[in-house]
Amino acid sequence: MASISKRSVGVNFNKDKLAEVSVWAPMAESVSLVTGTAATLPLNHDDKGWWTLKTDKLQPGSRYGFSIDGEEALPDPASLSQPGGVHELSEVFTIDDFDWADGKWQNHELSNYIIYELHTGTFTNDSNFAAIEQKLDYLLDLGITAIEVMPVAQFPGNRNWGYDGVFPFAVQNSYGGPAGLMRLVDACHQKGLAVILDVVYNHLGPEGNYLSHYGPYITEKYKTPWGGAINFDDAWCDGVRQYFTENALMWFRDFHIDALRLDAVHAIKDFSPKHILQEIQEHVNELTTLTGRQHYLIIECDLNDSRFLKSSAEGGYGINAQWTDEFHHALRVAAGQKREGYYADFNGLEDLAKAYRDAYVYDGQYSEERHRTFGSKTAGLQGQQFVVFSQNHDQVGNRLLGERTSTLVSFSMQKLMAAAVFISPYLPLMFMGEEYGETNPFLYFVSHTDAELVEAVRQGRKEEFKKFITDQEAPDPQALQTFETSKLQWDLINQQPHQNLVNYYKTLIRLRKTNMVLNTCDRHYMETSALSAQQVLLVKRWTEKETLLCLLNFSNQLQTIGLDEYPGNWQKLFDSAAIEWNGPADAPDSQDTTQKINIQPESVIIYTQTHV
């Protein structure tokens, strides 16, 4: 049973300053604690596979590991710190010693999240948490309310996307370790920023993964893209479920993280009576009751299954929100993306109109790409339960050459795509550098030490892009240059048109925050209409006091349309084609819809009408 009030796995200290050691190894005949001074202390065994010990032989900073059945000592699977990397002994870190200054912090309402996703290694040249702290004022000025930090679980070497972590409790040493992450979170809270941490509960990386030496963390009962699945419902799964539940609770309770983004939960295989995600959510709810701090779980899920988001009373898992890839796919096709690979299922404008209305494009119809009927309805779910974006780490980094939107579409289309996200009734997410049109790619990179594994990664990348028609080669994931090329170029902000674009984003975000219609995540007071022949999408949103009419022209031609069905006089609220934003012309400040309206190529006009 996971502990709500304190960490109960790994090494922790009690009120008497004794180290309480706990490790799960159900198949072991013996387990011994091995310290950096070569001391060996046997642990005591219980009938559920846990081995425990209280000792004064460990102090903060001590190095230690565990010997299973007399074999060579291995790092602690619940290690908090791996200063020597994934293959060396663990370091004792006292999680309760940090002097927090965020006592007055209150997490934002989820509906107020404006998310900025970043990768610690490539966000700055220094590639660490301390350097992120230096950019917080910039993010505040931009209008961000929450940063999302890609995975920081210890991985091999000093550079990795983060999804090859093998110590879920340990914070990457080259980023600044656990203390560095705590300082970053504390600094964010003092500036009013929430922190989302990306975690991976669907697989473990291939190098430095010693969990299977301790117990059946992996089951061959199911297959995933990474091999066997995490054992959430096979024999001995109780210890595995506790391990990951404790991990989620630790980030919230001990690191003051505000939300977790759970990677690819469709790859979590669990047919238990209670799904592991529901179990984690229930424990998080208990923690909130205990501490008074609000925490959120946000999932990435490719199943279009509303059970994940529905409450337990409705037969669901109660997860707070999910990433919505289908909004992204429909938006990209509307903006000119070729219908190949996973974009093949999307027709663009009509599907984008549906995504605005229903979040899921596929919610019970036949999918040509999947060759089956797919998805469920989202009736009853709120707008803040869905996160939308025009790009993210996956949709950029999983391209063969890691191209960002700025190198794929025109400046005017970048502005239109940004507006398409921010006028939605969903939570907007931006990927680092998007706001100023970063031109460096975001490539897939690793720093493994096993030559055979490195070659397997290279071949895996080639296999991944077979569905996409190209004769180009993927950059070498292992090469240092691949990583360096993926870093942001912060000096671009002071150059044009990048400076103009970042000011555009600031204005757009300010409008999202201050306009009474855009500031609500009520997706039910909304209508959409796709004028396919002209490639124009109409999005109407309203409250009792105000109505917005958003006209999005995805074509590269000036379009003239009639709006007889939207009577009255409308005032211009926002115009992406205005001269102020390097556009060709300003639209009229007011518009009587008895007259035709001209919409510039690849642009959006937002009109407002207030009600007495």
7 three-state secondary structure: coil
Two domains, one topology: 10-91 and 114-325+381-511: no
Segment 189-209 shows an average pLDDT of 96
Amino acid 166: pLDDT: 96
Amino acid 302: pLDDT: 94
Q: How confident is the model at residue 552 (pLDDT cuts 50, 70, 90)?
A: very high
Amino acid 504: pLDDT: 98
Is pLDDT of 603 > 60? yes
Segment 79-94 shows an average pLDDT of 97
| Residue 468 CB contacts under 8 Å (≥ 6 apart), including other chains | 340, 341, 400
- Region 114-325+381-511: CATH code: 3.20.20.80
Q: How confident is the model at residue 611 (pLDDT cuts 50, 70, 90)?
A: confident
Segment 435-451 shows an average pLDDT of 93
Q: Which CATH class is domain 10-91?
A: mainly beta
498-514 vs 411-422: helix crossing angle, rounded to 10: 20
- How many whole angstroms separate alpha carbon 490 and alpha carbon 510? 22
Q: How confident is the model at residue 50 (pLDDT cuts 50, 70, 90)?
A: very high
Is pLDDT of 371 > 80? yes
Segment 190-196 shows an average pLDDT of 98
Average pLDDT, the chain: 94
Is pLDDT of 89 > 60? yes
Segment 292-305 shows an average pLDDT of 96
Segment 221-231 shows an average pLDDT of 89
Amino acid 595: pLDDT: 83
Amino acid 227: pLDDT: 83
Is pLDDT of 612 > 80? no
Segment 206-210 shows an average pLDDT of 92
Amino acid 39: pLDDT: 77
- The region of weakest confidence among 4-8, 119-123, 283-287 is 4-8
Query: Is 76 a catalytic site residue?
Result: no
**Active-site hit among 20, 258, 300, 351:** 300
**Active-site hit among 263, 325, 351, 394:** 263
Burial class (CB in 10 A: 0-12, 13-18, 19+), 336: middle
Contact 150, 118 (CB under 8 A): yes
Is pLDDT of 269 > 60? yes
- Region 521-610: CATH code: 2.60.40.1180
Is pLDDT of 464 > 80? no
Mode of pairing for the β-strands spanning 365-367 and 259-262: unpaired
Q: How confident is the model at residue 592 (pLDDT cuts 50, 70, 90)?
A: confident
Amino acid 450: pLDDT: 79
- How many whole angstroms separate alpha carbon 135 and alpha carbon 156? 27
pLDDT tens-digit readout, 392-412: 999 998 888 999 999 999 999
Contact 244, 212 (CB under 8 A): no
Query: Is 263 a catalytic site residue?
Result: yes
Amino acid 593: pLDDT: 75
Q: Map out the domains of the chain as residue ranges.
A: 10-91, 114-325+381-511, 521-610
Amino acid 470: pLDDT: 61
Amino acid 492: pLDDT: 98
Is pLDDT of 522 > 60? yes
62 three-state secondary structure: coil
CA atoms within 13 A on the CB side of 463: 7
- How many whole angstroms separate alpha carbon 12 and alpha carbon 106? 27
The string of DSSP codes covering 494-555 is GSTTHHHHHHHHHHHHHHHHH-TTTT----SSEEEEEEGGGTEEEEEEE-SSEEEEEEEE-S
Q: Looking at the whole model, is its pTM more than 0.85?
A: yes
